[in-house]
Chains A and B, each alone.
Chain A
Amino acid sequence: MTAGTDAKSAIEAVWRIEAARVIAGVARLVGDVGLAEELAQDALVAALEQWPSEGVPRNPGAWLMTTAKRRGIDTIRRQQVLQKHLPALAGQEHTDDSQFDAVLEQDPIEDDLLRLIFTACHPVLKPEARVALTLRMLGGLSTDEIARAFLVPDATVGQRISRAKRALADAKVPFELPTGADRAARLTSVLEVIYLIFNEGYSATAGDDWMRPALCQEAMRVGRVLAGLMPAEAEVHGLVALLEIQASRSAARTGPDGKVVTLLEQDRRRWDRLLITRGLAALARAEELGGGTYTLQAAIAACHARARTAEQTDWPAIAGLYARLAELAPSPIVELNRAVAVSMADGPGAGLAVLDPLLEEPALRGYHLLPSVRGDLLFKLGRRDEARAEFERAAGMTRNEAERALLLGRAEECVA
């Protein structure tokens, strides 16, 4: 009994390691990632049937690839649409077996994996479909695992994936790497998907299913794979650096009571030094290559990571990085963060000068952190009546009970 379970989990481990490469290799053959994924799944089923009795092949990845490709060739033959579906052989009248053999013997090239990532994150798909396809095809996650991670029913994820595959086929998205002007925008989409997956896991609270934190690991894994495939892209390293450094704080983010502990109050001994070291190394590579918005965010995270205590934080450097970020990608949220950094570097008055223009910002109307930060700066300046009004305003905006209690407590402090 246990032998069977062990064999199954061993095969599934091989699958998770090899899935993306197999799907990518087959997709190049059949030109359709949806079909490729089904063929790869068929190969997994064959492995689950054959390996327990016949033994695991010497090179299990190659076995899966060959099995899936053979099924792909069978499918193509059956459909008799060879010319259309087999780009490598397009324009040839006859296809003999030796040509098929050549296809079988091709080594999976790294470009295939990159094509797969770009296709899964294609802009014709909705963001949630990109996320599901990426986890499924790059991470080798099952529909059930993805559903648990996103706290939605299995059927929803199943539908999302099959619709996404159809959408790619309908839009005739070629299994190719984007070139020219398209390339930068497509890479942005890939990086966004990875960051979205990470944040979905990172925002999970202590009591959540273990699959949610596992999303962070998945995002980091795909990010590292991408960094290996595109070593010259600054922002890929920048994103990896950001993820590694953010993840390094995971264990310190919640207290024993499950409550969120803010960055400056975290026990820094609980930060993961190995991830910080990796993050700083990735950041150095990103900065060497030029950087961008992810790199700047990683550089800000690195300022915190380098400080042994909250008091040792290099706030002038952080304020400077937020200013560069505001230039590159202006947003009211970045400006709000800059106001906080400036207040820490140059005092509450300087922070307030950055913050006050944001009161006119429609995007921040109803955003509780604006009055909350403003209240804090006013409090530090001794303008207690104004501070109290801001804390009360912030308390009225937040939906989080614990946060509301905290803000009302601060409002009371202003009276004392």
Chain B
Amino acid sequence: MRYMLMHKLDDSNPALWQPTPEFIAKFGEYMEEVNKAGVLLAAEGLLPSSAGAAVIRVTDGQTTVTDGPFAEAKEVIGGFGILQVRDHAEAVEWAKRFAALFDNVEVEVRVVSEYE
């Protein structure tokens, strides 16, 4: 089964987006672990909305584009990883290990739709 792990961070807190060398080291160890376990298919980290972002919304057929940075404080996706695992419990275990790298974070675990 293929899962996507996404973590969400506070867009308005710059400190979260400028990780310390200690955090980068911990993060690197995790990525190496999940990579060497043969389960990681792809991963990317995202920049906060101040780096360039937009929201495109269609309401009753009318398109509006709102450019970033987002003024009001909100949680945005900080990055994602795609994992090939045997079952839900394994995806959750990898997500727990990832979440443990942070003091405050929300990690969402979702099933990737695949052709059968």
Set of chain A residues within 8 Å of B82, measured between Cβ atoms: 274
CA A229 – CA B86 in complex, angstroms? 22
When the two chains form their complex, are residues A270 and B115 in contact, meaning their CB atoms are under 8 A apart?
A: yes
- From residue B82, how far is it (CB to closest CB) to chain A in Å? 7
When the two chains form their complex, are residues A16 and B38 in contact, meaning their CB atoms are under 8 A apart?
A: no
CA A372 – CA B115 in complex, angstroms? 32
Interface residues on A, range: 20 to 34
Set of chain B residues within 8 Å of A214, measured between Cβ atoms: 86
Set of chain A residues within 8 Å of B35, measured between Cβ atoms: 228
Set of chain B residues within 8 Å of A252, measured between Cβ atoms: 115
- From residue B45, how far is it (CB to closest CB) to chain A in Å? 18
Set of chain B residues within 8 Å of A13, measured between Cβ atoms: 87, 89-90, 92-93
CA A98 – CA B88 in complex, angstroms? 41
CA A108 – CA B39 in complex, angstroms? 20
CA A191 – CA B27 in complex, angstroms? 31
Instruction: Identify which of residues 84-105 in chain B touch chain A, using a CB-to-CB cut-off of 8 Å.
Output: 84, 86-90, 92-94
What are 26 A-B pairs at a CB distance below 8 A?
A9-B89, A10-B92, A12-B89, A13-B87, A13-B90, A13-B93, A14-B93, A16-B90, A17-B90, A17-B93, A17-B94, A214-B86, A220-B38, A221-B38, A221-B84, A223-B38, A228-B35, A228-B36, A229-B36, A251-B114, A251-B115, A251-B116, A252-B115, A272-B114, A275-B41, A278-B42
User: Does B37 touch A at the CB level, under 8 Å?
Assistant: yes
Contact of A225 among B38, B86, B94, B116 (CB under 8 A): B38
User: Does A122 touch B at the CB level, under 8 Å?
Assistant: no
Set of chain B residues within 8 Å of A251, measured between Cβ atoms: 114-116
User: Does A224 touch B at the CB level, under 8 Å?
Assistant: yes
Q: Scoring B residues 61 to 94 as 1 if CB is less than 8 Å from chain A, else 0, what string do you get? A: 0000000000000000000001010111110111
Given contacts A214-B86, A225-B36, A251-B115, contact A274 B93 (CB under 8 A): no
When the two chains form their complex, are residues B38 and A224 in contact, meaning their CB atoms are under 8 A apart?
A: yes
User: Does A293 touch B at the CB level, under 8 Å?
Assistant: no
A13-B87, A251-B115, A272-B115 known; 4 other A-B pairs, CB under 8 Å?
A9-B89, A272-B114, A278-B41, A278-B42
Contact of B93 among A10, A221, A224, A270 (CB under 8 A): A10
User: Does A408 touch B at the CB level, under 8 Å?
Assistant: no
Contact of B37 among A12, A17, A223 (CB under 8 A): A17
CA A270 – CA B113 in complex, angstroms? 12
Given contacts A13-B92, A13-B93, contact A217 B41 (CB under 8 A): no
CA A108 – CA B93 in complex, angstroms? 20
CA A222 – CA B38 in complex, angstroms? 7
Q: Residue on A with the closest CB to B100?
A: A58
CA A251 – CA B90 in complex, angstroms? 23
Q: Scoring B residues 105 to 116 as 1 if CB is less than 8 Å from chain A, else 0, what string do you get? A: 000000000111
Q: Scoring A residues 258 to 291 as 1 if CB is less than 8 Å from chain B, else 0, what string do you get? A: 0000000000001010110010000000000000
CA A115 – CA B93 in complex, angstroms? 26
5 nearest A-B residue pairs (beta carbon): A251-B115, A224-B38, A13-B89, A221-B38, A9-B89
Pick from A13, A14, A16, A110 the residue with the most CB of B within 10 Å.
Answer: A13
CA A231 – CA B93 in complex, angstroms? 27
Q: Residue on A with the closest CB to B84?
A: A217
CA A228 – CA B37 in complex, angstroms? 9
- From residue A160, how far is it (CB to closest CB) to chain B in Å? 22
- From residue A110, how far is it (CB to closest CB) to chain B in Å? 8
When the two chains form their complex, are residues B84 and A220 in contact, meaning their CB atoms are under 8 A apart?
A: yes
CA A225 – CA B40 in complex, angstroms? 11
CA A214 – CA B82 in complex, angstroms? 18
Set of chain B residues within 8 Å of A217, measured between Cβ atoms: 84, 86
CA A43 – CA B115 in complex, angstroms? 38
Set of chain B residues within 8 Å of A229, measured between Cβ atoms: 36
- From residue B40, how far is it (CB to closest CB) to chain A in Å? 8
When the two chains form their complex, are residues B39 and A221 in contact, meaning their CB atoms are under 8 A apart?
A: yes
- From residue A214, how far is it (CB to closest CB) to chain B in Å? 7
When the two chains form their complex, are residues A9 and B38 in contact, meaning their CB atoms are under 8 A apart?
A: no
Set of chain A residues within 8 Å of B86, measured between Cβ atoms: 16, 214, 217
Set of chain B residues within 8 Å of A221, measured between Cβ atoms: 37-39, 84
Pick from A12, A110, A270 the residue with the most CB of B within 10 Å.
Answer: A12
Instruction: Identify which of residues 2-49 in chain A touch chain B, using a CB-to-CB cut-off of 8 Å.
Output: 9-10, 12-14, 16-17
CA A13 – CA B86 in complex, angstroms? 9
When the two chains form their complex, are residues B114 and A225 in contact, meaning their CB atoms are under 8 A apart?
A: no
Instruction: Identify which of residues 238-265 in chain A touch chain B, using a CB-to-CB cut-off of 8 Å.
Output: 251-252
Q: Residue on B with the closest CB to A213?
A: B116
- From residue A201, how far is it (CB to closest CB) to chain B in Å? 13
- From residue A153, how far is it (CB to closest CB) to chain B in Å? 23
CA A348 – CA B107 in complex, angstroms? 57
Set of chain A residues within 8 Å of B38, measured between Cβ atoms: 220-225, 228
